[in-house]
Amino acid sequence: MTPSTASEIQAEMAALNLAYQARLTDDLLALQAQAAPLAQPDVDVAAPLARLLPALHQLIGSAGTFGEVALSEAARALELQLRSRQRQAAAWPLDERKAVVETVRGFSRLRTGQDPHTASVAPGVISGQVRRVDVLEDDPSILSMLVSSLRSFGYAAEGHASVAALERSLARRRPDAMIVDVHLGAEGGNGLALLEALQDRRHPPIPTLVITTRDDFEHRLRAVRAGAVGFFSKPVDLPQLENRLELCFDDYRGEPFRVVAVDDDPLLLARYQLVLGRAGVGVYAVSDPAQLHETLNAVVPDLLLLDVQMPGCTGAELAQMVRFDERWIGLPIIYVSAEADVGLQTAAMVRGGDEFMIKPIDDSILVATVLSRARRSRALANALARDSLTGLLKHGAAKEQLSQALSRAVRAGQPCSIAMIDLDHFKQVNDTHGHATGDKVIRALASLLKNSLRKDDIVGRYGGEEFLVVMNNLTAPAAAAKLDRLRTQFSALEFQGAEAPFQVSFSAGVSDSRSVSDVADVLIEADAALYRAKDAGRNRVMTADDFT
């Protein structure tokens, strides 16, 4: 479990530092033993160098990370000297070799026993809290729509019709995010000017989404300079706006970012877990490269941290192995190494990496880099997985999440219900009223499902007018009862047709994991129940048990 208070963080940092200092004594003695043969007149220097160089390389990264900066710099200087000597054909004079041995012996005098990083810990993210969102919009109908939609998505939303009203609210308390119309009427004030002034006075700045009727370079540039993290033209696409809002909080679906870190130094891995964990990042440590593939499949990370030099293989080789799997083609890979040779860095980068961080790494730089890369990784994955019309998961992403939900249900011994939903006579809607109107019907059902179901339920657009819903910890009868209430609500909605208002119903089939837990089998059962509902007259919800 990640420590939750500053005192707990400090205590764990201190414990890690003590553990490192204890290990450092042994490491320095081992270095002296590895260097000692170099002082012998007739020794073959290749073998001692082969043992000494990897140990120096590890010392560079670990010593710097745990506050032993002078020791890290001395080890780096010696590593560069020895690598240069390796490339020379001339014999290595004995006096120079003896100087290397003395340099290694002098490392112990460079120790400070202190870790200056322990006083600097990134603030954490409190999970599970209700997010407050302030909305500035002078059009009453748009303001009402935005506020009600945000509340249905689980946010504590408050609307403001003028700059003055928003300023009064901000004087009372700070929201977690803002949605600001930057072009208000004469009485509403200048939303963009307000945003620019507000962000100058607040640190950290408030995540803000801009909505506007003017989509041009000048206003986009001003929005960026004012600290906006999203820009939406009117009419606002609500699913896209809500998706972007979730990404503002770095906790899409309430999940922290997931990072897999590979390093043969367990203390460095423990430090990564502590530092990044405090910033809301889940770090899954891998000390044996052979376990990486299994860990990736189990964790499905947002980012991979790879040490470059490890016993048995290199980080670049691991990166290439990861890229063999199409599933991880887009996974950001950050090399973490004490390697300062630009040529070697470049060679590693072209073999599957995206970024190179040189040890020792400042904690704040590590956190900022990981959060930035992970945020973009998740935003890209989210965009690729979402249907552009509804904002719901696409077919493949919905099936993947169904598979994960079923696995969790089996492990926990809990039921998991799966529903297939299909709009009734939808072809007639398109033929009679046009595809644009048909799209509105699809969006309406998507919105009803997303707004009415629980946050941890899964809703996807399975194809055309068909939807997939996964409801955790519910049996098929309980899920069917919930969907039947939504069916009644949806069938009461009126849509404006080409000549007159019209209504649309849906049918649904529900199965659950109590009898079968295979993805294909539960989908077959739900689909069979759906077609039985269609055959029985449509506009109804049936379970697999209704005809067994």
**CATH no. for residue 533?**
3.30.70.270
25 pLDDT band (50/70/90 cuts)?
confident
Last residue of a domain, one of 222, 248, 274: 248
Domain co-membership, 239 together with 380 = no
Note whether residue 123 is domain-resident: no
**What is the total count of domains within the chain?**
4
Last residue of a domain, one of 248, 264, 295: 248
Whether residue 251 has pLDDT greater than 60 = no
Domain co-membership, 239 together with 208 = yes
Q: Tell me which residue range forms the domain holding 45.
A: 6-118
> How far is residue 261's CA from residue 310's CA, in Å, rounded to a whole number?
13
| Residue with the two structure tokens 């009898």 | 515
> How far is residue 489's CA from residue 451's CA, in Å, rounded to a whole number?
13
Note whether residue 222 is domain-resident: yes
CB 420 within 8 A of CB 509: yes
The single-letter code of the amino acid at 21 is Q
Domain co-membership, 83 together with 157 = no
Return the top range by mean pLDDT from 18-22, 55-59, 176-180, 414-418: 414-418
Domain co-membership, 350 together with 284 = yes
Q: Which of these ranges, 75-84, 94-103, 244-253, 277-286, has the smallest mean pLDDT?
A: 244-253
Give tens-digit pLDDT for 472-493: 999 999 999 999 999 998 998 8
> How far is residue 417's CA from residue 406's CA, in Å, rounded to a whole number?
9
Note whether residue 127 is domain-resident: no
Domain co-membership, 216 together with 301 = no
What is the value of pTM for the model shown? 0.60
Domain co-membership, 347 together with 282 = yes
The single-letter code of the amino acid at 57 is H
Give tens-digit pLDDT for 301-353: 999 999 888 888 888 899 999 999 888 988 999 998 887 777 777 887 888 88
Domain co-membership, 301 together with 209 = no
Domain co-membership, 257 together with 244 = no
8 pLDDT band (50/70/90 cuts)?
low
The mean pLDDT value of the chain amounts to 83
Note whether residue 125 is domain-resident: no
Q: Check which CATH number belongs to the domain holding 360 and give it.
A: 3.40.50.2300
Domain co-membership, 16 together with 92 = yes
Domain co-membership, 138 together with 230 = yes
Domain co-membership, 286 together with 305 = yes
Note whether residue 1 is domain-resident: no
| pLDDT score of 123 | 37
> How far is residue 316's CA from residue 333's CA, in Å, rounded to a whole number?
10
Note whether residue 126 is domain-resident: no
Domain co-membership, 242 together with 356 = no
